[in-house]
């Protein structure tokens, strides 16, 4: 063969070889892309089963293959999927890292649609971290592309996510508009899972707006759809929402039922999450990922070994390197195994503590609701009992009936005292008691309390002696009401357990630092005394010396518990010294600041100038649905020579106020139709000046703000002392004397 022909032959062989190599590379890339699709499909199946970590492991295998063939589009899609899964398991830091890489790759190749999906995922990550403003920015940019591409399921999903962000920002009107749009889109495109989630969010918004009937309707519909779909997270959210709605609607039976359903399903979900998030499992995934990389590298080395003998040496070296890497990985896993187990135990304990905290908060709410309901149900009939008894005693009863009526009055007063003590304890335990400091005369305060209790002391043939330290000033700045409560409970306790004896009330100076004094209040008696064993528990609720003492001397066993709570609030200390049969001494040490201001003395005879008002022109509206309570209140007002009109529901009350002129409205709270609170709000819409008193059995502190917001001028708790009732009425009339005379 001539040299020229040989050169031509070699050139043709090289071209054919290059063409063959190029075709083989393209075929290999196509094969690898197909392999990526299969791996991603397997990951999607794991996601459907809820095995998020298994799916992450599988997607990382696909990412290795895409990196080897330099498939940028595939890398971006896989990283975005991994970020979404990391968001689902609340690994926000890792999720941000993955989604940032995905967005960078998709930007570089201008992958418009997948870039918008990644931006939506980034918005979800911000939403999970409560960064609502940044979340909305990402949702907005993603939604624009989804709408251009007409991708209905993603448009619906991102609209719901926007609503969640606005709920977080408390933009309820905007959130409601987005939720309604989500509901329309979900129904139109048959997206039942998104429909149930949107209905629940609609219920949340309505509940925040206090539209409880609307909230109930949306929550129930969402719950049914979620249950049919098997969406446990959405179903669990619906149970919690329904419990809150029924609680607000005072249907405590259904509130409790849904609360139990929520706790049961929540425990199941937490257990599932705990297992999924196990640190040991994470370590296993790490090792599994490394094994996958090792296997992939080994396969590639085997293929190269078939193509060329030179690759044998590379294969041997690679296998050696892989073996070393495997040994190092295994060693690392074993060295960290103890730490991982400890972390797993701590994680489980933290989950348990969080669950117990949730249960404790739920129990506290249930306790508050229970006390509110029971208090109202007890105080309402007590108003009738005490009111009717007082009327009968004032209407010249037969001599043989007087003792029975006094016994009935005593029983009613005792029960009312018991209820008030329970409420006081509840407020102290809930840290709802606040200081109300004012200028007062300490010496006069002690003398007035002793004088008020003197009749009870005389019944037991007891003499009360008061000793006031001469070196102690009399005018102080402090919470005189709580000091009065402490003295009343301590002196009352001594009267109860002393017969034919003495009680000494001493006010002594302990220390002085300029105008700040530490004073000691001592109440000593020579009564029955307390055993050493019982002294340790004397300041606990419902604690008395023994069952026999409780039956003999009576009482609720709450007085000393109230004293301890009030002393703690005043930043003081309480001490007890007692011997059985020798008497008892209670000592209270309190910090008090001396005041140089003059004590303002209130007028003792508030009704002295009552004749200045023409009572025939005074009109009072009683809004009360209970017939007995109507009769009692009307009779009390009649004895005060005041005109009154009675209506039994809130709607009629609003109409009467519009049509007539009243000086005072006595408004009950719980009535058929609209409540007294709603009726007052409607009246305030057209009359800001009318005096409206809440005449109610509800007394818990958490309701007081609601009364103020509704527009009540004051609250009269049933059953009330007639003197207090008259004082508030006539004070209101004196304040508005000019208008009453017009």
pLDDT in tens, 232-251: 888 888 888 888 898 888 88
Q: Is 656 exposed, middle or buried (0-12, 13-18, 19+ CB in 10 A)?
A: middle
**How high is the pLDDT of residue 449?**
86
Strand order in the sheet with 643-647: 643-647, 619-623, 664-667, 691-696, 714-717
- Spatial contact of 123 and 142, defined as CB atoms under 8 Å apart: yes
Residue labelled with tokens 């209040």: 521
Residue labelled with tokens 């918004």: 205
Q: Is the pLDDT of residue 423 over 70?
A: no
Higher pLDDT, 232 or 323: 232
Average pLDDT over residues 254-280: 70
**How high is the pLDDT of residue 425?**
65
pTM (2 d.p.): 0.42
Higher pLDDT, 69 or 432: 69
Q: Is the pLDDT of residue 302 over 70?
A: no
Please state the φ and ψ torsions of residue 139, each to the nearest 5 degrees: -60, -40
At 441, the pLDDT band (50, 70, 90 cuts) reads very high
Give domain limits for the chain: 33-143, 438-594, 613-741
Q: Is the pLDDT of residue 378 over 70?
A: no
In 430-574, which ranges are continuous DSSP H helix? 442-459, 480-496, 532-535, 547-553, 559-569
Average pLDDT over residues 480-506: 89
- 451 contact partners, CB below 8 Å, separation of at least 6: none
The pLDDT tens digits for 580-620 are 888 999 999 999 999 888 766 554 444 445 555 667 778 89
At 682, the pLDDT band (50, 70, 90 cuts) reads very high
Q: Is the pLDDT of residue 490 over 80?
A: yes
At 260, the pLDDT band (50, 70, 90 cuts) reads confident
Higher pLDDT, 697 or 273: 697
CA distance 75 to 105: 8
Average pLDDT over residues 138-167: 88
**How high is the pLDDT of residue 651?**
93
Q: Look up residue 601 and give its DSSP letter.
A: P
Q: Is the pLDDT of residue 18 over 60?
A: no
As given in the structure block, the two tokens for residue 635 are 């009779």
CA distance 155 to 290: 38
Instruction: Using alpha carbons, select from 627, 625, 621, 623 the residue that is nearest to residue 384.
Output: 627
**How high is the pLDDT of residue 702?**
52
Instruction: Using alpha carbons, select from 633, 610, 40 the residue that is nearest to residue 388.
Output: 633
CA distance 459 to 461: 6
At 295, the pLDDT band (50, 70, 90 cuts) reads low
Q: Is the pLDDT of residue 63 over 80?
A: yes
Instruction: Using alpha carbons, select from 162, 237, 234, 184 the residue that is nearest to residue 207.
Output: 237
**How high is the pLDDT of residue 159?**
92
Query: What percentage of residues in the chain have a pLDDT greater than 70?
Result: 71
Residue labelled with tokens 């959130």: 175
**How high is the pLDDT of residue 88?**
80
CA distance 50 to 717: 55
Q: Is the pLDDT of residue 297 over 80?
A: no
Average pLDDT, the chain: 78
Q: Is the pLDDT of residue 113 over 90?
A: no
Residue labelled with tokens 């809930």: 430
**Of the listed ranges 123-137, 279-293, 510-524, the one predicted with least confidence:** 279-293
Average pLDDT over residues 554-567: 72
**How high is the pLDDT of residue 482?**
84
- 37 contact partners, CB below 8 Å, separation of at least 6: none
Beta strands in 374-462 (DSSP E): 438-441
Q: Look up residue 169 and give its DSSP letter.
A: T
Q: Beta 583-594 vs 573-579: how paired, if at all? A: antiparallel
CA distance 368 to 377: 14
> Hey, what CATH class is 33-143 in?
mainly alpha
At 384, the pLDDT band (50, 70, 90 cuts) reads low
**How high is the pLDDT of residue 371?**
62
The pLDDT tens digits for 707-731 are 888 888 888 877 777 777 888 888 8
Q: Is the pLDDT of residue 518 over 90?
A: yes
Higher pLDDT, 714 or 36: 714
Residue 554 backbone class (left: φ over 0; alpha: ψ -120 to 50; beta: rest): left
**How high is the pLDDT of residue 610?**
54
- Spatial contact of 426 and 371, defined as CB atoms under 8 Å apart: yes
CA distance 188 to 200: 18
Residue 301's CB is within 10 A of a number of other CB atoms, namely 18
**How high is the pLDDT of residue 703?**
63
Q: Beta 664-667 vs 691-696: how paired, if at all? A: parallel
**How high is the pLDDT of residue 468?**
94
At 16, the pLDDT band (50, 70, 90 cuts) reads low
CATH 3.40.50.2300 fits 613-741, yes or no: yes
CATH of domain 438-594: 3.30.565.10
**Of the listed ranges 140-144, 171-175, 399-403, the one predicted with least confidence:** 399-403
CA distance 71 to 36: 10
Work out whether the CA dihedral 359, 364, 369, 375 comes out positive or negative. positive
- Spatial contact of 303 and 318, defined as CB atoms under 8 Å apart: no
At 290, the pLDDT band (50, 70, 90 cuts) reads very low
**How far, in whole angstroms, is CA 421 from its chain's centroid?**
26
Determine if the peptide bond prior to 719 is cis (ω within 30°).
yes
**Of the listed ranges 426-435, 437-446, 481-490, the one predicted with least confidence:** 426-435
Partner residues linked to 440 by β-bridges:
476
- Spatial contact of 387 and 695, defined as CB atoms under 8 Å apart: no
Query: What percentage of residues in the chain have a pLDDT greater than 90?
Result: 17
Q: Is the pLDDT of residue 503 over 60?
A: yes
Fold equal for 33-143 and 438-594: no
């Amino acid at each position: 063969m001539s040299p020229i022909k040989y050169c031509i032959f070699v050139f043709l062989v090289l071209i054919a070889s290059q063409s063959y190599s190029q075709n083989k590379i393209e075929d290999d890339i196509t094969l690898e892309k197909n392999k990526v699709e299969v791996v991603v499909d397997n990951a999607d199946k794991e996601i459907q089963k809820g095995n998020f970590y298994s799916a992450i492991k599988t997607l990382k295998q696909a990412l290795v293959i895409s990196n080897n063939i330099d498939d940028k589009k595939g890398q971006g899609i896989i990283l975005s999927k991994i970020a979404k899964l990391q968001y689902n398991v609340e690994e926000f830091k890792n999720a941000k890292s993955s989604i940032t890489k995905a967005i960078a790759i998709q930007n570089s190749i201008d992958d418009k649609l997948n870039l918008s999906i990644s931006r939506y995922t980034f918005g979800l990550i911000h939403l999970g971290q409560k960064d609502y403003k940044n979340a909305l920015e990402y949702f907005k940019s993603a939604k624009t592309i989804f709408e251009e591409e007409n991708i209905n399921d993603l448009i619906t999903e991102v609209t719901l996510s926007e609503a969640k962000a606005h709920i977080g920002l408390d933009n309820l009107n905007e959130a409601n508009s987005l939720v309604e749009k989500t509901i329309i889109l979900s129904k139109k495109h048959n997206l039942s899972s998104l429909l149930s989630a949107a209905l629940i969010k609609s219920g949340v918004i309505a509940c925040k707006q206090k539209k409880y009937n609307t909230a109930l309707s949306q929550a129930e519909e969402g719950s049914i759809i979620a249950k049919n779909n098997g969406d446990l997270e959405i179903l669990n959210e619906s149970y919690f929402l329904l419990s809150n709605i029924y609680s607000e609607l005072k249907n405590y039976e259904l509130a409790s039922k849904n609360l139990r359903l929520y706790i049961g399903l929540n425990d199941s979900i937490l257990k599932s999450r705990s297992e999924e998030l196990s640190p040991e499992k994470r370590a296993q995934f790490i090792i599994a990922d490394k094994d996958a990389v090792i296997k992939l590298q080994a396969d590639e080395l085997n293929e190269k070994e078939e193509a060329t003998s030179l690759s044998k040496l590379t294969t041997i070296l690679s296998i050696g390197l892989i073996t070393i890497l495997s040994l190092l990985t295994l060693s690392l896993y074993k060295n960290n195994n103890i730490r991982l187990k400890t972390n797993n135990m701590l994680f489980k304990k933290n989950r348990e503590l969080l669950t117990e905290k949730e249960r404790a908060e739920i129990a506290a709410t249930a306790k508050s609701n229970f006390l509110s309901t029971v208090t109202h149900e007890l105080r309402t009939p007590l108003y009738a009992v005490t009111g009717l008894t007082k009327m009968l005693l004032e209407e010249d009863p037969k001599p043989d009936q007087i003792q029975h009526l006094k016994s009935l009055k005593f029983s009613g007063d005792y029960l009312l005292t018991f209820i008030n003590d329970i409420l006081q304890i509840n407020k102290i335990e809930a840290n709802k008691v606040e200081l109300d400091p004012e200028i007062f005369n300490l010496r006069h305060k002690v003398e007035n309390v002793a004088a008020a209790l003197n009749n009870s002391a005389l019944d037991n043939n007891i003499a009360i002696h008061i000793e006031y330290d001469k070196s102690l000033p009399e005018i102080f700045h402090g919470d005189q009401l709580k000091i009065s409560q402490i003295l009343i409970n301590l002196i009352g306790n001594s009267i109860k357990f002393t017969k034919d004896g003495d009680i000494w009330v001493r006010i002594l100076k302990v220390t002085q630092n300029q105008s700040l004094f530490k004073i000691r209040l001592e109440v000593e008696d020579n009564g029955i005394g307390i055993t050493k064993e019982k002294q340790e528990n004397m300041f606990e609720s419902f604690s008395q010396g023994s069952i026999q003492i409780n039956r003999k001397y009576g009482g609720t066993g709450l007085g000393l518990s109230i004293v301890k709570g009030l002393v703690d609030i005043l930043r003081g200390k309480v001490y007890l010294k007692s011997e059985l049969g020798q008497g008892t001494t209670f000592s209270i040490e309190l910090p008090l600041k001396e005041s140089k201001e003059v004590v303002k003395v209130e007028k003792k005879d508030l009704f002295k100038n009552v004749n200045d008002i023409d009572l025939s022109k005074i009109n009072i509206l009683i809004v009360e649905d209970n017939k007995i309570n109507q009769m009692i209140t009307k009779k009390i007002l009649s004895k005060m020579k005041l005109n009154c009109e009675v209506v039994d529901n809130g709607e009629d009350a609003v109409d009467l106020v519009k049509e007539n002129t009243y000086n005072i409205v006595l408004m009950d709270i719980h009535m058929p139709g609209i409540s007294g609170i709603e009726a007052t709000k409607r009246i305030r819409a057209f009359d800001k000046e009318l005096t409206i008193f809440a005449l109610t059995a509800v007394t818990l502190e958490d309701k007081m703000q609601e009364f103020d917001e509704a527009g009540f001028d004051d609250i009269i708790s049933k059953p009330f002392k007639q003197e207090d009732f008259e004082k508030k009425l006539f004070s209101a009339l004196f304040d508005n004397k000019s208008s009453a005379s017009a």
